Amino acid sequence: MILTDGQILACIDDGSIVIEPFDRECLGTNSYDVHLGRTLAVYDDEVLDARKHNTITTFDIPDDGYVLLPERFYLGVTAEYTETHAHVPFLEGKSSVGRLGIDIHATAGKGDIGFCNFWTLEISVKQPVRVYAGMPIGQLIYFAVDGHVINPYNRKQSAKYNQKTSMPVESMMFRNFPAEAE
């Protein structure tokens, strides 16, 4: 079951959903609009290696915008910090963003109960497009769950993205592989 606007507001009131900053105008019928943060990142290497820590370079979007290119892959971040303690959050692109040829996540559109952070966006574009910090970029949809959660994300020892940051975060896939002997 997807939460309605009234249910989202009730969950914000009881603290089971946190959105900072919260703007009532961004609340849709059954979703909440999130915005592109000021910072983007690109990987430093052309070839990425899933077994290694691939480093990124971050930069701020200028006031007059930044042109995303189809041959590049970008990491972005939401302007909003969120916490979800009793529901499964899904981040989806807005239709107006999709109609510009912008994809905001490659595969990671679902959060976990207990996710408490800014959302890193996995951005690719179909053709060059200028984007701006603060523009609407996606919408959070909250799903109710059935049953008790034993291990929320923010308490998992193995969670790779628990460190609170308003910066895009690179892949931590390398942590899934055992350390190589030197």
Residue 83 lies in a domain: yes
Structure tokens at 10: 């009730």
Give the active site residue among 46, 80, 92, 122: 122
Residue 178 lies in a domain: no
62: CB partners within 8 A, 6+ apart:
none
Q: pLDDT tens across 54-72, in order?
A: 999 999 999 999 999 999 9
Residue 131 lies in a domain: yes
Q: Whole-prediction pTM value?
A: 0.91
Domain, as residue range, for 26: 5-171
- Higher pLDDT pick, 17 / 181: 17
- At 157 the three-state DSSP class reads coil
Asked if 68 and 131 count as a contact pair (C-beta separation under 8 A), the reply is: yes
pLDDT value for 50: 94
Q: How far is CA 84 from CA 87, 92, 99, 146, 151, in A?
A: 6, 16, 29, 15, 13
| CATH number for the domain that contains residue 138 | 2.70.40.10
Strand partners, 138: 34, 93
Q: pLDDT tens across 13-58, in order?
A: 999 999 999 999 999 999 999 999 999 999 999 999 999 999 999 9
Residue 179 lies in a domain: no
Residue 181 lies in a domain: no
- At 165 the three-state DSSP class reads coil
- Catalytic status, residue 170: no
For residue 21, cis peptide bond before it (omega within 30 degrees of 0): yes
pLDDT value for 154: 80
Q: pLDDT tens across 89-140, in order?
A: 999 999 999 999 999 987 778 889 999 999 999 999 999 999 999 999 999 9
